[in-house]
Chain A
Amino acid sequence: MAAEQKQIKNTLTKLLGLVVVMFVFAIWIMPPLYDLICEVAGLNGKTQGQYVSAVEAEVDNSRWVNVQFVAINNEGMPWEFQPNEFSIKVHPGAATVTHFVAKNPTDRIMVGQAVPSMVPSNATNYFHKTECFCFNKQTLGPGEEAELGLRFIVDQDLPKAVKTITLSYSLFDVTDMSSSEVESKAKELQALQTNELSILTEFVPDESRNNNVHVANRMQPLI
């Protein structure tokens, strides 16, 4: 009997171990593993992070690739968000610079995060971004407009069948998750405001009152 109980305990321990392993697998292994597979295989069209290469790329002048840009606003994101141009023809290997335009029409500081996606997904590993606004959160003050830069190189090894690459950015409102960005922006704006004010008071003291109102208006639209 005692031997049997020991065996049962043994089985129980092993199986509980398996349960723990599978739970850990689900939460701590699967998500990073998924990200890794996505990155290696270019799965799901998720583009990679910043591209750094020691070797200067060679430009393939014999071939044109059409690169398209798409801007998408997620729900509850009131920014005006557009690519500067819908499509550019590029040679593989040539570094190209373009930008998106974003404007925050609201009366508060907002933080946006652009999430990239690429069609076709098998082009993902051949599209290198050396600079991109999607690497970081973007903070815009009330009414502020910004040009969001993007610099990329299409790899010379891009499969021949791919003639069009579409890069889309979905813009998400992440203000709620970004209190530090909002704070630093608020400080920046305040500094700007006091700075302007001090300049104004110094040079045109007579009109300081009016100007004061003017600045306040611009910074905090009466909405």
Chain B
Amino acid sequence: MAHGPAKGITRWFFTTNHKDIGTMYLWFSFAMFLLGGSFALVIRMELFQPGLQIVEPNFFNQMTTMHGLIMVFGAVMPAFVGLANWMIPMMIGAPDMALPRMNNWSFWILPFAFALLVSTFFMEGGAPNFGWTFYAPLSTTYAPDTVTFFIFGVHIMGASSIMGAINIVATILNLRAPGMTLMKMPLFVWTWLITAYLLIAVMPVLAGVVTMMLMDIHFGTSFFDAAGGGDPVLFQHVFWFFGHPEVYIMILPAFGIVSAIIPTFARKPLFGYSSMVYATASIAFLSFIVWAHHMFTVGMPLFGELVFMYATMLIAIPTGVKVFNWVTTMWQGAMTFETPMLFSIAFVILFTIGGFSGLMLAIAPVDFQYHDTYFVVAHFHYVLVPGAIFSITAAVYYWLPKWSGKMYDESLGQVHFWLAFIGLNVTFFPMHFSGLAGMPRRIPDYNPLWADWNMISSIGAFLFGAAQILFLYIVIRTIVSGKKATDRVWEGSHGLEWTVPSPAPYHTFTTPPPKEDMQSY
């Protein structure tokens, strides 16, 4: 018989329940999102106008580095793992994750990893200041001593991601309820299965690259040091061999979320389910053979440039398939525009704009002009903020009634959406212009030529930041005093998670659900 949760704080330390762990992941990632966001606001404050006002250049570099690291490894990835923890067992009719104890560890080592990383701010030498891509030799021979803490932090968060991914694969492959065939799984489960394989394949490569750095710094090897027969360009190849799949790790689960939400509010099945699965798999495969498009200016031979340019352009095809499928799903539906749907529609539009700039960046000869400018910053923020952040926000609004048993305030949700949508575009759209006009990224001060666009970006950033505070308020208010939610929550909702009561009981599907509840939708 099912037990309820343990009492007191020990519930959270020792829990092996997928819902508890999912909740902790989500709160942790939100805290990191606010921390990384506050670093972004320091950056935007400094760039509000030309001249040095708020911070000195070295601290500015620490801000850009920590903003990137915390957002990627602290906010986006744990948020997706949290959603996976909550939703995957419920979506496939499993009682819990396959490896519950490992699940507990994979969460609880995360706070230590980030404590280690953030503690460097208070040490002599300061936090990492070599960019989140930490190119050698800036991050080895020329790095502050605190780089060792950074390396261990990355090791620990890498271990956490790997354990989380293993757990997800083991759950999906072994714990599906009878009748839940692979091609009946919701797309969120599919995208996470593929993402988890990507994580298992590339997080060890990240661990490898930081280990090589560690050995270069402390044990006299010369992997990346030209003086000893090594090669700084090798660092970039290994890093981006991890880095490009990593980018898709941050977007594939988002595809799954949007593929759940759009059909719900269009009241129409997802168009092209199987082509969605194949497109996701192709994107994952392509992610392994395009890494050097981040390095078009390092001086690769012509042949190398061409191969990576063509491979990169190919990604447009499966990504296009996905966008067309979503649009066709909406076509001839009966749509309503609740907050999760608004965020999902914004996702499709803005992610597509990010995709367009991505296609432009893929053209190697033109990339010589875009590379390392604000155009690139605009591109990846258009992919990551509406991509990862908007989809996570949509997911929270969509599933929060199931988690908490209470409904959020719809009008506040709409206000949040519009603030975030306007804030995002005001922040990042002008960056296309300042980048094309020639502003390099990662600079604390700039020529007045780019002053106007920067001022607008800064204003937008504060608006976007304010929207996130409102988000926090909405979530807390829902949990504390929201109206009771129904079990189905949404009129158009389909899938196993909606067949259990709201809030979802501490243990669900201790006996497998009936097969009639499982149709691919």
User: Which A residues from 31 to 71 make CB contacts under 8 A with B?
Assistant: 31, 34-35, 41-46
Residues of A within 8 Å of B301, CB to CB, are 41-44, 121-122
- Alpha-carbon gap, A53 to B169, bound state (A): 54
Residues of B within 8 Å of A12, CB to CB, are 99, 166, 170
- Alpha-carbon gap, A25 to B237, bound state (A): 13
In the complex with contacts A4-B175, A22-B202, A34-B234 CB distance below 8 A = yes
Complex interface: stretch among B223-231, B345-353, B480-488: B223-231
The closest CB in chain A to the CB of B234 belongs to A34
Interface size class of B (residues with CB under 8 A): 35 or more
Residues of A within 8 Å of B325, CB to CB, are none
In the complex with contacts A22-B201, A43-B301, A170-B226, A11-B234 CB distance below 8 A = no
Asked whether A22 lies within 8 Å of B205 as measured between CB atoms, the reply is: yes
Complex interface: stretch among B51-59, B207-215, B367-375, B490-498: B207-215
Contact flags B451-480 to A (C-beta < 8 A → 1, else 0): 000000000000000000000000000000
- Alpha-carbon gap, A113 to B230, bound state (A): 12
- Alpha-carbon gap, A23 to B208, bound state (A): 6
The closest CB in chain B to the CB of A115 belongs to B226
Interface size class of A (residues with CB under 8 A): 35 or more
B220: Cβ under 8 A from any A Cβ: yes
The closest CB in chain B to the CB of A113 belongs to B227
Distance (whole angstroms) from the CB of A18 to the closest CB of chain B: 5
Asked whether A25 lies within 8 Å of B223 as measured between CB atoms, the reply is: no
Residues of A within 8 Å of B98, CB to CB, are 8, 11
Residues of A within 8 Å of B377, CB to CB, are none
Asked whether B205 lies within 8 Å of A25 as measured between CB atoms, the reply is: yes
The closest CB in chain B to the CB of A122 belongs to B301
User: Which B residues from 197 to 255 make CB contacts under 8 A with A?
Assistant: 200-205, 207-209, 211-212, 220, 223, 226-229, 231, 233-234, 237-238, 241-242
Distance (whole angstroms) from the CB of A178 to the closest CB of chain B: 10
A30: Cβ under 8 A from any B Cβ: yes
Choose one: B170, B202, B207, B228; the contact of A11 (CB below 8 Å): B170
- Alpha-carbon gap, A19 to B207, bound state (A): 10
Choose one: A15, A31, A42; the contact of B166 (CB below 8 Å): A15
Residues of B within 8 Å of A41, CB to CB, are 301, 303
A222: Cβ under 8 A from any B Cβ: no
- Alpha-carbon gap, A133 to B277, bound state (A): 57
In the complex with contacts A12-B166, A18-B200, A27-B212, A7-B174 CB distance below 8 A = yes
B317: Cβ under 8 A from any A Cβ: no
Asked whether B238 lies within 8 Å of A15 as measured between CB atoms, the reply is: no
A204: Cβ under 8 A from any B Cβ: no
A-side interface mostly:
helix
Residues of B within 8 Å of A26, CB to CB, are 204-205, 207-209, 212, 238, 241-242
In the complex with contacts A12-B166, A31-B234, A34-B234, A18-B201 CB distance below 8 A = yes
Residues of A within 8 Å of B211, CB to CB, are 27
Choose one: A7, A21, A30; the contact of B241 (CB below 8 Å): A30
Residues of A within 8 Å of B220, CB to CB, are 177
Asked whether A34 lies within 8 Å of B166 as measured between CB atoms, the reply is: no
- Alpha-carbon gap, A18 to B199, bound state (A): 11
The closest CB in chain A to the CB of B206 belongs to A26
The closest CB in chain B to the CB of A177 belongs to B228
User: Which A residues from 140 to 189 make CB contacts under 8 A with B?
Assistant: 170, 172-174, 177
- Alpha-carbon gap, A106 to B349, bound state (A): 63
Residues of A within 8 Å of B170, CB to CB, are 8, 11-12, 15
A191: Cβ under 8 A from any B Cβ: no
B449: Cβ under 8 A from any A Cβ: no
Distance (whole angstroms) from the CB of B299 to the closest CB of chain A: 7
- Alpha-carbon gap, A31 to B170, bound state (A): 32
A195: Cβ under 8 A from any B Cβ: no
B162: Cβ under 8 A from any A Cβ: yes
Distance (whole angstroms) from the CB of A60 to the closest CB of chain B: 24
A74: Cβ under 8 A from any B Cβ: yes
Residues of B within 8 Å of A45, CB to CB, are 299
Distance (whole angstroms) from the CB of B486 to the closest CB of chain A: 33
Residues of A within 8 Å of B304, CB to CB, are 43
Residues of A within 8 Å of B174, CB to CB, are 4, 7-8, 11
Residues of A within 8 Å of B169, CB to CB, are 11, 15
Residues of B within 8 Å of A88, CB to CB, are none
B300: Cβ under 8 A from any A Cβ: yes
A16: Cβ under 8 A from any B Cβ: yes
The closest CB in chain B to the CB of A119 belongs to B299
Asked whether B237 lies within 8 Å of A34 as measured between CB atoms, the reply is: yes
- Which of B174, B212, B242 is packed against the most chain A CB atoms within 10 Å? B174
Choose one: A11, A30, A174; the contact of B173 (CB below 8 Å): A11
Contact flags B161-174 to A (C-beta < 8 A → 1, else 0): 01001100110011
- Alpha-carbon gap, A173 to B227, bound state (A): 7
Residues of B within 8 Å of A35, CB to CB, are 231
Asked whether B200 lies within 8 Å of A19 as measured between CB atoms, the reply is: yes
Residues of A within 8 Å of B212, CB to CB, are 26-27, 31
Residues of B within 8 Å of A31, CB to CB, are 212, 223, 234, 238
Asked whether A74 lies within 8 Å of B227 as measured between CB atoms, the reply is: yes
Asked whether A16 lies within 8 Å of B300 as measured between CB atoms, the reply is: no
Distance (whole angstroms) from the CB of A173 to the closest CB of chain B: 7
User: Which B residues from 292 to 329 make CB contacts under 8 A with A?
Assistant: 299-304
Choose one: A16, A30, A34, A172; the contact of B226 (CB below 8 Å): A172
Residues of B within 8 Å of A121, CB to CB, are 299, 301
- Alpha-carbon gap, A177 to B221, bound state (A): 10
Contact flags A119-130 to B (C-beta < 8 A → 1, else 0): 001100000000
Residues of B within 8 Å of A7, CB to CB, are 173-174
Residues of B within 8 Å of A23, CB to CB, are 204-205, 207-208
- Which of A7, A26, A35, A170 is packed against the most chain B CB atoms within 10 Å? A26
Closest 9 CB pairs of A and B: A26-B208, A172-B227, A22-B204, A23-B204, A26-B205, A11-B170, A27-B208, A15-B166, A8-B98
Residues of A whose CB lies within 8 Å of any CB of B are 4, 7-8, 11-12, 15-16, 18-23, 25-27, 30-31, 34-35, 41-46, 74, 113, 115, 121-122, 170, 172-174, 177
Beyond the given A30-B241, A31-B212, please list 12 additional residue pairs across the A-B interface where CB-CB is below 8 A. A15-B165, A19-B162, A19-B204, A25-B205, A26-B205, A27-B211, A43-B304, A74-B227, A113-B228, A122-B301, A174-B227, A174-B228
**19 chain-A/chain-B pairs, Cβ below 8 angstroms:** A8-B174, A8-B175, A11-B170, A19-B203, A22-B200, A26-B209, A27-B211, A30-B237, A31-B234, A31-B238, A34-B237, A41-B301, A41-B303, A42-B301, A43-B300, A44-B233, A44-B300, A113-B227, A122-B301
